[in-house]
């Protein structure tokens, strides 16, 4: 029989936990009043989240979830086992999305990708884009790049999709083995060479015969995704879909 001392100790511990939670919630509420969030796009104050409703509504949709052989999908038509591909928004250098992506990647605001992904998931589910998908896999960062940035923006995007759709996310089986230079300033042929053989897989048998959704932030030529898909052919019997937040015009 448990002693009264143990019961009291347990009760005290439980009460202490509740007090900590209460003060934590109060602290967050007070912080939101003293330092309200600003929209990652226009800089205005937002009541919740990190993108104001006006900016979210103004972002240029591609409508690709309902369009077969769209401009994203066409990049991968020659690859076997690619079921579908779609980008949520159009991306160009003077676009609203560019401001959001800059905040997400270079201003330590990965929650921007998460919020955009949840919105994308809500809109794409209406067109059954995620139908049959078993697992969501983000394009990985090399560990050194991850340590420098502190997070993988594609993983935050994938997490947003996962939380909204209920489809599990996996970050264990597709890995980046080579810390290759950034793609942004390279021409198309240079991009292809730059991402050649930079990915690897771990325990591929655990993802055999799955429908895998591969997730990236921005697709330009599709070179990074193509390299991932070639590596992921080790997942025998699997088929693939592709999602990105943005598609460069």
pLDDT tens sequence across 141-160: 988 888 888 999 999 999 99
pLDDT tens string 210-222: 999 999 999 999 9
Band the pLDDT of 4: cuts 50, 70, 90.
very low
Question: Beta-carbon neighbour count of residue 60 at 10 Å?
Answer: 15
Mean pLDDT taken over the chain: 84
Calculate the CA dihedral of residues 141, 97, 91, 85 and round it to 10 degrees: 60
**Range with the poorest average pLDDT among 24-38, 99-113, 121-135, 151-165:** 24-38
Which domains does the chain show, CATH number per domain?
Answer: 62-248 (3.40.50.2020)
- Contacts of 13 by beta carbon, 8 Å cutoff, 6+ apart: none
Q: Classify residue 75 by burial, with Cβ atoms within 10 Å: 0-12, 13-18, 19+.
A: buried
pTM of the model: 0.80
Cα(240)–Cα(90) distance, integer angstroms: 22
pLDDT tens string 178-232: 865 554 554 555 444 445 678 999 999 999 999 999 999 999 999 999 999 999 9
Instruction: Check: CB of residue 212 under 8 Å from CB of residue 137.
Output: yes
pLDDT value at position 199?
92
Using the predicted structure, report yes or no on whether residue 167 has a pLDDT greater than 90. Answer: yes
- Computed from CA positions of residues 226, 228, 231, 237, in that sequence, does the dihedral angle turn out positive or negative? negative
pLDDT value at position 157?
97
Beta partners for residue 29, in sequence order: none
Cα(114)–Cα(154) distance, integer angstroms: 9
- Contacts of 65 by beta carbon, 8 Å cutoff, 6+ apart: 86, 123, 124, 126, 127, 129
Q: Containing H/E element for 178? A: none
């Amino acid at each position: 029989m448990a002693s009264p001392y143990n019961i009291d100790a347990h009760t005290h511990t439980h009460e202490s936990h509740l007090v900590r939670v209460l003060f934590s919630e109060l602290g967050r509420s007070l912080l939101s009043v003293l330092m309200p969030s600003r929209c990652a796009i226009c800089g205005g104050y937002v009541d919740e989240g990190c993108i104001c409703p006006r900016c979210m509504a103004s972002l240029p949709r591609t409508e690709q979830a309902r369009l077969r052989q769209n401009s994203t999908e066409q990049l991968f038509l020659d690859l076997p086992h690619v079921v579908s591909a779609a980008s949520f928004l159009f991306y160009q250098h003077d676009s609203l999305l560019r401001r959001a992506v800059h905040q997400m990647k270079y201003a330590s605001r990965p929650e921007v990708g998460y919020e955009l992904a949840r919105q994308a998931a809500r809109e794409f589910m209406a067109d059954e884009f995620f139908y049959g998908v078993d697992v969501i896999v983000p394009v990985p960062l090399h560990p050194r790049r991850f340590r420098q940035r502190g997070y993988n923006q594609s993983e935050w995007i994938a997490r947003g999709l996962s939380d909204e759709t209920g489809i599990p996310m996996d970050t264990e089986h597709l890995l980046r083995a080579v810390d290759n230079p950034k793609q942004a300033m390279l021409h198309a042929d240079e991009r292809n060479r730059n991402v050649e053989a930079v990915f690897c897989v771990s325990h591929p048998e655990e993802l055999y015969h799955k429908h895998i959704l591969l997730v990236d932030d921005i697709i330009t030529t599709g070179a990074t995704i193509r390299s991932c898909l070639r590596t992921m052919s080790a997942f025998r019997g699997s088929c693939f879909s592709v999602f990105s937040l943005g598609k460069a015009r």
